[in-house]
C-alpha cells in the first residue's frame, strides 16, 4: 500500500466532514486530526485509516510480542490503540476496578484504505479503486445537520468532592512517608442508558476545544472521542520524541490581561515546575533504556502552550534509537506514559489501583499509527497521542465515560487539585449542558 493517488480539494472542511460520515459505515476506523496546529507545510492535517484487512486483539500478558509478530506478518500501515492496562504485562500489576465501556487492552488493524488530508489535496492509499473512493466520499451525503445538538445528559461522578479531597489527603501521606514522589490521580464522570451521535459529538468537541492530537476512533460498538493536547511518543527515522504535559492553569478568554497573568503564573509556579521536571526525568529514564548512549536530551523545558480551555506546561524530550531496535520495544520501554502515572512508576500504579474507583481502560492509554518510514523502507515511523480530554462511549451498553486527573506532589492542595479536574473536564461537560 505504498503507492498513492493524489486529488485536489477545494474545501478542506467539507471534505473532512464527508470523510468522517463515510468512515462511520465501517466497523473500524481511526481518524487523527491535528486541528491545523502543525506548522510543517509537508505534514498532513488529518489522517484516516478505515476498514480492516487484518486485526489483532491484544491482551495483557503477551501483547507486545504478539504485536511484533503481527506486524512482521503484515508489514506496512497499522492503526489502533494501547490501553492503560497493558501496564499489567510490563509491571505485573492487576486491575479489578469498574469498567462500563469495555475497550480491550489493545487492538491494531491493517487498513483497507489510508487517507491523508492536506490543506489543498488528498492522498488515498487503498486496496480498492482510489478514484472511485474519492468520488464516493465527495458525493457522500452528510447525515448530521449543523443545527443538531447533542442531547442534555446528567453526568454523575464516582467521587463526591469530599471523597476526592480525603483521597488526595491519603495520597499525600504516601508522599510524606516516601512511598512515591508524584502520582497522577484520576476520577471518572459517567452516564448510563444514554444515546449520542459520536460524529456530531466529536465535531462539537473539536469546535469547543480544538487540540493537536484529536482523534475519533471506532472499534465495532465502542468509540473514543478525543481532544488530546498531548503526544505520548513519536518515531521519525531513528529519532524518538516524547512531549509530556504536567502543569495546568485555567484561561480567562474574557480578559486578556488576566489570561496573560495566569499564563505567567503557570510558568513561574514552583509547584508546577516541580511536577513537570519529575515527569521529564521519568521520560528521560524510559528513553535511556533503549536509546543510544548520550543521545537523550531535553529539547524544551517548561514550555507554556495555550489551548481553548487551559494553559499547559509542556516539555520535549528526545533520543536516538539504535537501527536494529524494533519499534515495538520503544513503545514498551516508555509505556504507560509517565505523565499519567508518576514516580516511581510501579509503586504509583499500585496506588492508582488502590485509590481510584474506575478501571482506566483506553483512558491514559494511546491511539496512533505506524507507517513505512520515508528514510528507510525497511523501518517504520509512528506517532501516538495520550488519551486524555476524551469521551469513551459504548453504543451497545449505552454508557459514556470520561476521566480527568492531576499530578499530586508534596505541594498539592487537595481543593485546588479538585478544581483542576473540573477545568480539564469543562469542554466535555459543556457538550451535554
Q: pLDDT tens-digit profile of 203-221?
A: 999 999 999 999 999 999 9
Q: Is the pLDDT of residue 147 over 60?
A: no
* CA gap 47, 368 in Å, rounded: 10
- Residue 42 — very low, low, confident or very high, per pLDDT cuts 50/70/90? confident
Contact 95, 359 (CB under 8 A): yes
Q: Is the pLDDT of residue 1 over 70?
A: no
* pLDDT for res 146: 44
Q: Is the pLDDT of residue 260 over 80?
A: yes
Q: Is the pLDDT of residue 376 over 90?
A: no
Contact 246, 343 (CB under 8 A): no
* pLDDT for res 200: 93
What residues does each domain of the chain span? 5-140+150-431
Q: Is the pLDDT of residue 404 over 70?
A: yes
Burial of residue 57 (CB within 10 Å: 0-12, 13-18, 19+) is middle
* pLDDT for res 120: 86
Q: Which CATH number fits domain 5-140+150-431: 3.40.50.2020, 3.40.50.10320, 3.30.300.130, 3.60.120.10?
A: 3.60.120.10
* pLDDT for res 148: 58
Number of H helices, E strands in the chain: 12, 20
Contact 104, 59 (CB under 8 A): yes
Give residue-wise pLDDT tens across range 319-332.
Answer: 999 999 999 999 99
The per-residue pLDDT of the chain, averaged, comes to: 93
* CA gap 183, 340 in Å, rounded: 8
Angle between helix 345-355 and 161-176 (nearest 10): 150
Q: What is the phi/psi pair of residue 88, to 5°?
A: -65, -30
* pLDDT for res 145: 43
Percent of residues, the chain, with pLDDT higher than 90: 84
C-alpha grid cell, residue 406: 492531576
Q: Among the residues of 81-233, which ranges form H helices?
A: 87-91, 130-138, 161-176, 198-208
Q: DSSP letter at 1? A: -
Give 423's Cβ-side CA count (13 Å radius). 19
* pLDDT for res 378: 66
- Residue 3 — very low, low, confident or very high, per pLDDT cuts 50/70/90? low
Find all residues with CB under 8 Å of 361, minimum gap 6, and list them: 83, 84, 85, 99, 101, 102, 103, 392
Q: Is the pLDDT of residue 284 over 70?
A: yes
* pLDDT for res 21: 94
Long-range contacts of 194-197 (CB under 8 A, 24+ apart): 194/151, 194/153, 194/398, 194/399, 194/400, 195/151, 195/395, 195/398, 196/150, 196/151, 196/153, 196/393, 196/400, 197/144, 197/148, 197/150
What's the whole-model pTM score?
Answer: 0.95
Q: Is the pLDDT of residue 416 over 70?
A: yes
* pLDDT for res 149: 63
* CA gap 19, 27 in Å, rounded: 15
Q: What is the mean pLDDT of residues 44-61?
A: 96
Contact 26, 14 (CB under 8 A): no
CA distances from 129 to 21, 23, 136 (A): 19, 16, 11
Contact 215, 367 (CB under 8 A): yes
* pLDDT for res 162: 97
| Alpha-carbon radius of gyration of the chain | 21
Strand 46-58 and strand 5-8: the pairing is unpaired
Measured over the CA atoms of residue 193, residue 194, residue 195 and residue 199, the dihedral's sign is: negative
Please state the three-class secondary structure of 234-247 as a single string. Answer: EEECCEEEEECEEE
Amino acid at each position: 500500500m505504498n503507492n498513492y493517488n493524489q486529488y485536489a480539494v477545494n474545501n478542506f472542511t467539507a471534505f473532512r466532514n464527508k470523510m468522517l460520515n463515510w468512515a462511520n459505515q465501517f466497523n473500524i476506523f481511526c481518524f487523527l486530526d491535528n486541528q491545523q496546529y502543525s506548522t510543517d507545510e509537508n505534514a498532513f492535517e488529518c489522517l484516516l485509516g478505515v476498514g480492516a484487512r487484518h486485526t489483532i486483539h491484544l491482551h495483557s500478558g503477551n501483547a507486545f510480542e504478539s504485536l511484533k509478530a503481527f506486524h512482521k506478518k503484515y508489514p506496512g500501515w497499522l492503526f489502533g490503540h494501547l490501553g492503560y492496562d497493558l501496564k499489567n504485562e510490563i509491571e505485573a500489576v492487576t486491575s479489578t476496578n469498574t469498567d462500563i465501556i469495555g475497550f480491550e487492552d489493545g487492538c491494531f488493524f491493517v487498513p483497507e484504505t489510508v487517507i491523508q488530508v492536506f490543506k489543498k489535496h488528498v492522498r488515498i492509499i487503498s486496496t480498492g479503486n482510489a478514484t472511485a473512493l474519492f468520488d464516493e466520499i465527495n458525493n457522500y451525503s452528510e447525515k448530521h445537520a449543523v443545527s443538531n445538538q447533542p442531547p442534555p445528559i446528567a453526568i454523575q461522578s464516582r467521587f463526591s468532592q469530599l471523597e476526592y479531597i480525603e483521597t488526595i489527603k491519603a495520597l499525600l501521606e504516601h508522599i510524606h512517608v516516601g512511598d512515591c514522589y508524584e502520582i497522577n490521580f484520576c476520577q471518572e464522570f459517567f452516564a448510563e442508558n444514554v444515546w449520542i451521535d459520536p460524529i456530531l459529538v466529536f465535531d462539537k468537541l473539536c469546535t469547543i476545544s480544538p487540540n493537536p492530537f484529536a482523534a475519533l476512533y471506532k472499534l465495532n460498538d465502542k468509540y473514543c472521542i478525543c481532544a488530546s493536547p498531548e503526544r505520548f511518543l513519536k518515531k521519525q527515522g531513528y529519532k524518538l520524541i516524547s512531549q509530556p504535559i504536567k502543569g495546568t492553569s485555567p484561561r480567562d478568554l474574557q480578559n486578556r490581561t488576566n489570561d496573560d497573568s495566569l499564563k505567567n503564573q503557570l510558568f513561574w509556579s514552583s509547584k508546577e515546575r516541580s511536577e513537570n521536571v519529575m515527569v521529564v526525568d521519568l521520560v528521560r529514564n524510559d528513553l535511556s533504556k533503549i536509546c543510544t548512549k548520550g543521545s537523550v536530551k531535553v529539547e524544551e523545558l517548561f514550555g507554556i502552550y495555550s489551548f481553548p480551555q487551559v494553559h499547559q506546561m509542556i516539555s520535549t524530550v528526545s533520543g536516538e534509537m539504535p537501527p536494529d531496535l524494533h519499534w515495538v520495544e520503544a513503545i514498551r520501554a516508555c509505556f504507560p506514559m509517565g505523565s499519567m502515572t508518576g514516580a516511581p512508576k510501579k509503586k504509583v500504579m499500585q496506588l492508582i489501583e488502590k485509590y481510584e474507583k474506575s478501571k482506566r481502560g483506553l483512558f491514559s492509554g494511546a491511539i496512533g499509527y505506524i507507517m513505512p518510514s520515508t528514510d528507510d523502507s525497511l523501518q517504520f515511523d509512528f506517532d501516538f497521542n495520550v488519551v486524555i480530554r476524551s469521551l469513551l462511549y459504548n453504543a451497545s451498553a449505552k454508557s459514556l465515560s470520561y476521566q480527568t486527573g492531576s499530578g499530586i506532589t508534596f505541594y498539592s492542595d487537595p481543593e485546588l487539585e479538585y478544581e483542576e479536574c473540573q477545568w480539564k473536564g469543562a469542554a466535555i461537560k459543556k457538550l451535554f449542558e
